[in-house]
């Protein structure tokens, strides 16, 4: 399911990232890649705060929606 | 030991503590400029260590070394083409994996490197133990443990640089059979490129496979380069087909895999519970329902604190300035120089210096919020609101910095990649009330509003600024710069307890700037304003003031003679010691009473108590000096009337002189425009002067109002304002609103021009905000009058 529909504080794994190449590289530079664990810390209608690899990243809703987890 | 200067480049992720380490290493010997051709900031500093001169370059913070942002390109170009003697990669030990992502890329550049394992204290407190020796061994470079916030580890870093012990290390990532095969084919083709561009061949080959736009362009320009690029493109396509993924992504994945293996080997223990303390705090502070109210509450707290805590030292500074003024007033001969120094310089600059405590407190609060990491959360909390106006939370951080000063805030808008977002943010940042306006608010609020609502009035002004910024952003976004919102990704640092040292450093930097500003711009403007309000000095008065004063003095003498001197048979009443002694006693009681009852309300129990006290004291004197008491009392009364009359005439006279001065005439010219918003010409002059720097409004008013007090002890500006009939709480509020909104100061306009690369936007920002200021002040003033608030 998309990250935007995930319940907060549950430890999930990223299965796929359906963004443009540009965005995927940006996310990759920040540490967000397919296969790693991720958890949602907080969310609002316009953005998400997620925890990956020992750090926390704020994403806009649309981008977060393109990240699939399970 | 040769004396050639040694260059150290600092690299690292944003939020890794690089700036702190840079400051530790260079102290105040820093210089900020720009890399040629780009808007990327170039920060350099100097340091002497063991007889060696060191140049320390703070490279822009980057997460990677791709070609997606100018910062990354600048960093990698510098490292390879500018030949620093050593590159220090600053690694946040509490965020190892992601920080090593940059480290591996730096290692692939094959330059002398040292790893600084920074924030080692934080990692330890989280139970993370790192085997730095093993790390050093695996990567082939020295690893130094540092705690930037406590200035630890700096010497070791410098030692390695100075003794040239930095090695170029290697990370030997095996990218797999297919990619390694492609690299092998490309490397020989890149010999010339290596010569010209200085990057290692393997690295260049990797970049070509990654489709790095910057490298491709440069390689194409070299002879034979076009062919090489084509070969690389073919290899890319083949890899994509075979492995089903873009080579760039594959290479990145393999880097992370290498790092994962490395971390498993060097990280000995990890207490994952501790890592989530930040998360727990975030649960509350970024909570959907609680987040925004908590944020607003925090702001309200800060403003009240600034105002109430700052009042004490402010009072002392005020006394100090007063004393300085009177000392000069008494010790200089009458004339222009005395007036210039007392009214112009001390009145002007003094008026602004007294606010240093408030400014310090404000910057302390901002530094505290930044240091703990809460500022970044503000971006998340406000994102919802920002989204509604078409921006995003990232825009809010420059806005928040605008509470300190618009200049760094507008420069901070560089983090917004989208030029449209950046422009809108730049245009509304000045609406976030900067610290220069704080003296204006403080003076007006303490003159016209009671202590109990002072904090709230201040907060209301700041809130108005925030609301207007949001509204104007919305308008700009929908009218001028339409388009959908950009995606964004932003890292939030963990919550930390900042060291007192770092907060004080921040505060100190800012306050030094404030004092500098006072010493230069404000001093200059104060002198100019003094000149404009004192000349022309030959004025045609409507009344013969000197004559009138002489007249009332004569009348006094005659009356005293008739009523007091003759009945008592005293020839020279002024020199009669006994009589004058009684007069002095009575005057003292009256003065005491006046001083203590100043701020009390009519009919209040305190006032009545003071009144009875006064009566008792006077009775006491009467019993002792029964004969002289009656006449002495009458004398005091008459003298009081004489002094009051003289004061009145003096004020009228200086008022007329002021009105006919250059400044006065200029003010009168714009008076019709500003009258509908409640201002008179004096405020007009102030607003005009404040164009140079907002604090100048206070110093200009300081100069204007003490024009009449060059002879007596100068009273604080706030009292002088309260006494002016042109001023009342509604006018004061209208003035504060106007100052909040109208044109940014000159330095800000200059920065806007620089950041937008056009005068058009700089001028636009000045014009639109002044017009907006007029409209809102008009609504406030006329609306307030309708509701009966006018004094």
One-character DSSP codes across B219-256? HHTSTTHHHHHHHHHHHHHHHHHHHSS-HHHHHHHHHH
Across B296-313, b (16+ Cβ under 10 Å) vs e yields: eeebbebbeebbeebeee
The whole-number pLDDT of residue B1 equals: 45
d(CA B564, CA B635): 8
Nearest to B97 among A24, A54, A59 (CB): A54
Phi and psi for B57 in degrees, rounded to 5? -110, 125
Mutate which of B282, B489, B490 to disrupt the A interface (most A C-beta within 10 Å)? B489
Q: Is B57's pLDDT higher than 50?
A: yes
Cβ distance B491 to A49 less than 8 Å, yes or no, reads no
Confidence of residue B27 (pLDDT cuts 50, 70, 90): confident
Nearest to B308 by CA among B449, B452, B439: B452
Cβ distance B489 to A30 less than 8 Å, yes or no, reads yes
B492 at interface of A, judged by CB pairs closer than 8 A: yes
Q: What is the mean pLDDT of residues B85-101?
A: 92
Nearest to B160 by CA among B6, B3, B23: B6
B282 at interface of A, judged by CB pairs closer than 8 A: yes
**Higher per-residue confidence, B39 vs B189:** B189
d(CA B398, CA B428): 10
Confidence of residue B105 (pLDDT cuts 50, 70, 90): very high
The whole-number pLDDT of residue A17 equals: 92
B335 at interface of A, judged by CB pairs closer than 8 A: no
- Most confident listed range (B181-195, B406-420, B647-661): B181-195
Cβ distance A29 to B393 less than 8 Å, yes or no, reads no
Contacts of A42 in chain B (CB under 8 A): 282-283, 286-288, 291, 380
Contacts of A39 in chain B (CB under 8 A): 279
Q: Is A38's pLDDT higher than 60?
A: yes
The whole-number pLDDT of residue A32 equals: 92
Confidence of residue B272 (pLDDT cuts 50, 70, 90): low
Residue B264: both structure tokens together: 């498993």
For tokens 């496979």, what's the residue?
A: B209
Tell me the CA end-to-end span of chain B in Å, nearest whole number: 78
d(CA B742, CA B770): 4
CA distance, residue A26 to nearest chain B CA (Å): 8
CA distance, residue A70 to nearest chain B CA (Å): 20
The whole-number pLDDT of residue B3 equals: 61
CA B7 to chain centre: 32
Cβ distance B288 to A28 less than 8 Å, yes or no, reads no
Cβ distance B286 to A57 less than 8 Å, yes or no, reads no
Q: What is the mean pLDDT of residues A27-56?
A: 89
- Most confident listed range (B283-287, B508-512, B521-525, B714-718): B283-287
For tokens 């063991």, what's the residue?
A: B50
Of B54-68, B182-196, B327-341, B666-680, the one with minimum mean pLDDT is: B327-341
Query: Could you tell me the pTM of the whole model?
Result: 0.75
Tell me if B341 sits within 8 A of B328, measured CB to CB: yes
Cβ distance A58 to B246 less than 8 Å, yes or no, reads no
Tell me whether residue B379 is exposed, middle or buried, using C-beta atoms within 10 angstroms of its C-beta: 0 to 12, 13 to 18, 19 or more: buried
The whole-number pLDDT of residue B600 equals: 64
Q: How many residues does chain B have?
A: 791
Contacts of B417 in chain A (CB under 8 A): none
Of B37-41, B71-75, B582-586, B698-702, the one with minimum mean pLDDT is: B37-41
For tokens 């402010």, what's the residue?
A: B314
Three-state SS for B11? strand
CA distance, residue A23 to nearest chain B CA (Å): 9
Nearest to A55 among B68, B253, B491 (CB): B491
d(CA B232, CA B183): 9
B517 at interface of A, judged by CB pairs closer than 8 A: no
Cβ atoms within 10 Å of B444's Cβ, excluding its own: 27
Contacts of A56 in chain B (CB under 8 A): 278-279, 282, 491-492, 494
Contacts of B383 in chain A (CB under 8 A): 44, 46-47, 58
Which residue in chain B is spatially nearest to A22 when comparing CA positions? B68
Report the alpha-carbon angle B442-B448-B453, nearest 5: 75
Tell me if B133 sits within 8 A of B115, measured CB to CB: no
pLDDT (tens digit per residue) in B682-695: 888 888 888 888 88
Which residue in chain A is spatially nearest to B387 when comparing CA positions? A46
d(CA B47, CA B66): 31
Q: What is the mean pLDDT of residues B594-606?
A: 69
CA count, 13 A, side-chain hemisphere, B360:
15
Per-position DSSP letters for B514-546, written without gaps between them = HHHHIIIIIHHHHHHHHHHHH-S-----SS-HH
Q: Is B112's pLDDT higher than 70?
A: yes
B280 at interface of A, judged by CB pairs closer than 8 A: no
Which residue in chain A is spatially nearest to B126 when comparing CA positions? A54
Tell me if B91 sits within 8 A of B142, measured CB to CB: no
d(CA B375, CA B381): 10
Nearest to A24 among B249, B485, B490 (CB): B249
The whole-number pLDDT of residue B323 equals: 83
Q: What are B580-588's contacts with CB under 8 Å, separation 24+?
A: B582/B621, B582/B625, B582/B628, B582/B629, B582/B632, B583/B632, B583/B635, B583/B636, B583/B639, B585/B621, B585/B625, B586/B618, B586/B621, B586/B629, B586/B632, B586/B633, B586/B636, B587/B636
Three-state SS for B89? strand
Q: How many residues does chain A have?
A: 70
Radius of gyration of chain B (CA): 35
Mutate which of A7, A55, A65 to disrupt the B interface (most B C-beta within 10 Å)? A55
Cβ distance A54 to B248 less than 8 Å, yes or no, reads no
Cβ distance A42 to B288 less than 8 Å, yes or no, reads yes
d(CA B10, CA B12): 7
pLDDT (tens digit per residue) in B141-160: 989 999 988 888 898 888 88
Residue B107: both structure tokens together: 């290692």
d(CA B146, CA B155): 10
B249 at interface of A, judged by CB pairs closer than 8 A: yes
* Chains A, B: CB pairs < 8 Å: 116
**Higher per-residue confidence, B575 vs B76:** B76
CA distance, residue B285 to nearest chain A CA (Å): 10
Which residues does B589 contact at the CB level (< 8 Å), separation at least 6? B614, B617, B618, B621
Cα separations in angstroms, B171 against B103, B107, B652, B734: 9, 6, 83, 65
Tell me if B88 sits within 8 A of B157, measured CB to CB: yes
Confidence of residue B599 (pLDDT cuts 50, 70, 90): low
DSSP run (H or E) holding B58: strand B52-58
pLDDT (tens digit per residue) in A15-25: 999 988 888 99
Cα separations in angstroms, B182 against B193, B219, B225, B251, B323: 17, 17, 17, 12, 81
Nearest to B66 among A29, A47, A60 (CB): A29
The whole-number pLDDT of residue B714 equals: 46
Tell me if B97 sits within 8 A of A54, measured CB to CB: yes
B485 at interface of A, judged by CB pairs closer than 8 A: yes
Cβ distance B387 to A45 less than 8 Å, yes or no, reads yes
Cβ distance A41 to B489 less than 8 Å, yes or no, reads no
Q: Report CA dihedral (B687, B456, B405, B721) to the nearest 10 degrees.
A: 30
Q: If interface means Cβ-Cβ distance under 8 Å, which residues of chain A face chain B?
A: 9, 21-33, 39, 41-47, 49, 51, 53-60, 62-63
CA B678 to chain centre: 30
The whole-number pLDDT of residue B275 equals: 56
């Amino acid at each position: 399911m998309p990250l935007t529909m995930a319940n907060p504080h549950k430890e999930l794994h990223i299965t796929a990232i359906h963004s443009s190449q540009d965005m995927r590289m940006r996310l990759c530079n920040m540490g967000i890649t397919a296969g790693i664990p991720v958890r949602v810390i907080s969310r609002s209608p316009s953005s998400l705060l997620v925890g990956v690899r020992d750090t926390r990243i704020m994403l806009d809703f649309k981008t977060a929606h393109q990240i699939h987890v399970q | 030991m040769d004396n050639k200067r040694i260059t150290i480049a600092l690299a690292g992720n944003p939020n890794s503590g690089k700036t702190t380490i840079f400051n530790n290493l260079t102290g105040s010997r820093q210089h900020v400029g720009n890399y040629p051709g780009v808007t990327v900031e170039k920060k350099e500093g100097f340091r002497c260590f063991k007889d060696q001169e060191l140049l320390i370059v703070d490279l822009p913070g980057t997460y990677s070394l791709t070609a997606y942002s100018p910062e990354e390109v600048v960093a990698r170009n510098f490292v390879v083409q500018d030949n620093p003697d050593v590159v220090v990669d600053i690694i946040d030990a509490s965020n190892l994996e992601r920080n090593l992502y940059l480290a591996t890329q730096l290692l692939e550049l094959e330059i002398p490197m040292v790893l600084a394992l920074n924030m080692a204290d934080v990692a330890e407190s989280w139970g993370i133990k790192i085997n730095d020796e093993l790390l050093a061994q695996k990567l082939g470079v020295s690893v130094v443990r540092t705690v930037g916030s406590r200035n630890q580890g700096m010497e070791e870093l410098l030692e390695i640089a100075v003794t040239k012990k930095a090695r170029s290390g290697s990370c030997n990532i095996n990218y797999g059979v297919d990619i390694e095969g492609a690299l092998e084919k490309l490397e020989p083709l890149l010999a010339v490129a290596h010569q010209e561009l200085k990057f290692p061949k393997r690295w260049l080959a990797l970049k070509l496979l990654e489709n790095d736009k910057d490298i491709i362009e440069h390689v194409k320009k070299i002879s034979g380069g076009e062919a090489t690029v084509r070969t690389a493109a073919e290899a890319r396509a083949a890899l994509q087909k075979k492995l089903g993924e873009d080579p760039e992504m594959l290479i990145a994945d393999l880097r992370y895999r290498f790092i994962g293996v490395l971390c498993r080997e060097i990280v000995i223990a990890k207490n994952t519970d501790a890592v989530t303390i930040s998360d727990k705090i975030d649960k509350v502070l970024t909570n959907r329902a609680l987040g925004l109210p908590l944020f607003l509450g925090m702001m309200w707290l800060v403003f009240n604190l600034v105002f109430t805590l700052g009042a004490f030292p402010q009072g002392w500074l005020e006394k100090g300035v007063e004393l300085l003024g009177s000392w000069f007033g008494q010790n200089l001969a009458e004339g222009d120089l005395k007036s210039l120094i007392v009214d112009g310089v001390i009145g002007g600059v003094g008026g602004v210096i007294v606010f240093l405590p408030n400014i310090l407190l404000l910057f302390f609060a901002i530094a505290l919020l930044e240091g703990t990491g809460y500022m970044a959360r503000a971006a998340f909390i406000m994102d919802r609101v920002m989204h509604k106006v078409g921006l995003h939370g990232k825009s809010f951080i420059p806005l928040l910095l605008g509470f300190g000063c618009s200049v760094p805030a507008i420069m901070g808008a560089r983090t917004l990649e989208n030029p449209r977002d950046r422009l809108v943010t730049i245009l509304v940042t000045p609406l976030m009330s900067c610290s220069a306006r704080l003296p204006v608010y403080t003076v007006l609020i303490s003159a016209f509003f009671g202590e109990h609502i002072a904090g709230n009035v201040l907060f209301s002004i700041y809130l108005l600024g925030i609301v207007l910024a949001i509204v104007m952003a919305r308008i700009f976004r929908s009218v001028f710069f339409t388009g959908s919102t950009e995606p964004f990704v932003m890292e939030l640092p963990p919550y930390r307890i900042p060291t007192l040292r770092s907060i004080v450093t921040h505060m100190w930097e800012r306050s030094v700037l404030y004092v500098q500003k006072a010493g230069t711009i404000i001093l200059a403007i104060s002198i100019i304003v003094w000149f404009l309000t004192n000349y022309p000095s030959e004025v045609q008065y409507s009344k013969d003031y000197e004559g009138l004063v002489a007249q009332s003095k004569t009348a006094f003498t005659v009356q005293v003679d008739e009523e007091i001197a003759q009945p008592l048979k005293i020839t020279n009443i002024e020199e009669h010691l006994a009589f004058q002694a009684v007069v002095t006693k009575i005057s003292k009681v009256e003065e005491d009473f006046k001083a203590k009852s100043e701020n009390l309300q009519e009919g209040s129990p305190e006032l009545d108590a003071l009144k009875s006290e006064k009566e008792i004291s006077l009775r006491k004197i009467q019993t002792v000096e029964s004969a002289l008491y009656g006449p002495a009392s009458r004398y005091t009364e008459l003298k009081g009337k004489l002094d009051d009359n003289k004061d009145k005439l003096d004020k009228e006279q200086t008022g007329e002189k002021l009105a006919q001065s250059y400044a006065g005439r200029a003010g009168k010219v714009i008076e019709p425009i500003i009258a509908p918003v409640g201002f008179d010409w004096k405020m007009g002059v102030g607003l005009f002067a404040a164009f140079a720097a907002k604090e100048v409004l206070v110093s200009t008013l300081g100069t204007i109002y003490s024009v009449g007090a060059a002879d007596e002890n100068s009273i604080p500006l706030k009292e002088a304002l309260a006494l002016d009939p042109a001023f009342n709480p509604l006018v004061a509020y209208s003035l504060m609103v106007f100052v909040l909104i109208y044109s940014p100061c000159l330095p800000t306009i200059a920065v806007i021009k620089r950041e937008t690369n056009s005068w058009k936007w700089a001028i636009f920002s000045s014009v639109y905000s002044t017009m907006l200021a007029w409209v809102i002040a008009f609504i406030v003033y006329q609306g307030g009058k309708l509701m009966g608030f006018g004094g």
